[in-house]
């Protein structure tokens, strides 16, 4: 038995952050019903921007956050469609949405609206900037809220270069898993008290919390420079990436700089400096020796290949890693050993690898399942809440709902 079997979830959300929550709940046994408009979640159609297959039968990005859900199409502008939504909510334990507050208010779907009707149901949402303040009504995506507004993109770049290239979904997944924790905590409370609460987070807050170590340190300018900084001025030169003889980058991580200083210097072949007090971290900071010391490290690492350093640092038991590429991850032995990827038997490509969510329960990772085709389960779900075949036929003819059969010819074209 999966941990969340018996829990019913209604999801009215698009793109990545909130669907991540629904995917986690579905992976753990909850029945998750995803409601879409006739045009579908826009993320279904992002293939061209992500360099992947456009086939609806091999929708790897959409499936990443929607696998295992049931998918239905409802026209919520039609009173019959709204009626069907409320019938679904009658039996729901959790409601997930990323609609902005104005849109929820227009449809009478705010927390206050729904809590009055369904007092035990958990209402969970994620916004870009939060639901108060001057930017609360702005559209928000992880590129803008999680990366740019939060300081990550502007601060973590090297001072002399442009910001790093970003990838879709990075910040959304972090925020999604933050919301998962809140949803489950509120659900446990609701089982004890009978009262469901609103659970919310934002991409902005999640990103700032994730970077809080150095953001908080910005309040102490007397101890270091403000970001962005040159990589040659990093506060701990042992926590940096160095170019190797084969033009790779080798990342080291030694937080206790002084304690491990002799060992690191011996490991990189600079035994002559292993007991040199000039290069202890206080001296480096007080005398502004960052560039000088980084030059010593750069010269040392440039003498061997990344693979050679990997072997040397492994034997010395010093935390490190070769900076891998995405392509290398797909065949990395350690990644394979912990079961990150699963081969998905898509009808269009039976060998494609997809990433499982990173949570093991009872020693097992949840298997990756495909997401619903647009409107695939509409009639099944509506029958399940009491609609007769005659009622369905009338609603279908009136455009209250659609099915995959209505749309597949257009979407396959």
**Of the residues 93, 172, 288, 367, which is catalytic?**
172
Instruction: Let me know if 220 is exposed, middle or buried by CB neighbors in 10 A (0-12, 13-18, 19+).
Output: exposed
CA atoms of 160 and 324, how far apart (whole Å): 23
In terms of C-beta distances under 8 Å and separation of at least 24 residues, what long-range contacts does 222-227 make, across chains too? 223/285, 224/285, 227/151, 227/155, 227/156
DSSP summary character for residue 128: S
User: CA–CA separation, 38 vs 400, rounded Å?
Assistant: 10
Rg (CA), the chain: 26
How far apart CA 230 and CA 248 sit, in angstroms, is 19
- Backbone phi, then psi, for 33, in 5-degree steps? -110, 115
- 172 noted as active-site residue: yes
d(CA 168, CA 90): 35
Q: Are 151 and 208 in contact (CB under 8 A)?
A: yes
Return the SS3 of 374.
coil
Question: To 10 degrees, the CA torsion angle through 267, 272, 278, 282?
Answer: 20
- The CA distance from 353 to 344, in Å, is 6
d(CA 78, CA 322): 56
Residues with active-site annotation: 172
């Amino acid at each position: 038995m999966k941990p969340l079997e018996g829990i019913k979830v209604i999801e009215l959300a698009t793109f990545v952050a909130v669907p991540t929550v629904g995917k986690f709940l579905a992976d753990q046994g909850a029945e998750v019903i995803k409601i879409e408009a006739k045009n579908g979640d826009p993320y279904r159609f992002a293939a061209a921007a992500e360099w992947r297959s456009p086939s609806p039968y091999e929708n790897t990005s959409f499936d990443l956050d929607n696998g295992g859900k049931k998918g239905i199409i409802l026209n919520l502008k039609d009173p019959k469609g709204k009626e069907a939504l409320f019938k679904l909510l009658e039996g729901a334990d959790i409601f997930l949405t990323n609609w902005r507050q104005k849109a929820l208010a227009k449809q009478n779907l705010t927390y206050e609206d729904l809590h009055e009707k369904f007092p035990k149901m958990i209402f969970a949402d994620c916004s870009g900037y939060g639901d108060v303040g001057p930017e609360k009504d702005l559209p928000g995506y992880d590129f803008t809220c999680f990366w740019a507004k939060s300081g990550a993109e502007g601060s973590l770049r090297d001072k002399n270069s442009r910001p790093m290239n970003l990838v879709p979904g990075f910040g959304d997944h972090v925020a999604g898993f933050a919301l998962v924790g809140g949803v489950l905590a509120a659900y446990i409370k609701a089982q004890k008290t009978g009262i469901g609460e609103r659970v919310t987070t934002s991409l902005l807050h999640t990103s700032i919390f994730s970077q809080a170590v150095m953001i908080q340190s910005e309040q102490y300018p007397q101890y270091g420079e403000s970001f962005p900084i040159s990589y040659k001025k990093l506060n701990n030169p042992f926590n940096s990436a160095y170019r190797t003889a084969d033009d790779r980058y080798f990342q080291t991580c030694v937080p206790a700089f002084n304690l491990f200083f002799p060992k690191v210097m011996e490991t990189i072949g600079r035994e002559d400096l292993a007991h040199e007090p000039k290069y202890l971290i206080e001296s480096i900071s007080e005398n502004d020796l960052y560039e000088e010391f980084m030059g010593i490290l750069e010269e040392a690492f440039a003498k061997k290949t990344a693979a050679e350093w990997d072997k040397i640092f492994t034997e010395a038991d010093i935390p490190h890693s070769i900076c891998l590429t995405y392509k290398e991850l797909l065949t990395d032995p350690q990644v394979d050993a912990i079961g990150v990827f699963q081969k998905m038997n898509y009808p269009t490509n039976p060998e494609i690898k997809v990433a499982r969510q990173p949570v093991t329960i009872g020693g097992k990772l949840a298997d990756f399942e495909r997401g619903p085709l647009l409107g695939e389960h509409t009639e099944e779900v509506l029958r399940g809440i009491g609609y007769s075949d005659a009622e369905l036929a009338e609603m279908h003819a009136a455009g209250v709902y659609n099915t995959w059969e209505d749309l597949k010819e257009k979407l396959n074209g």
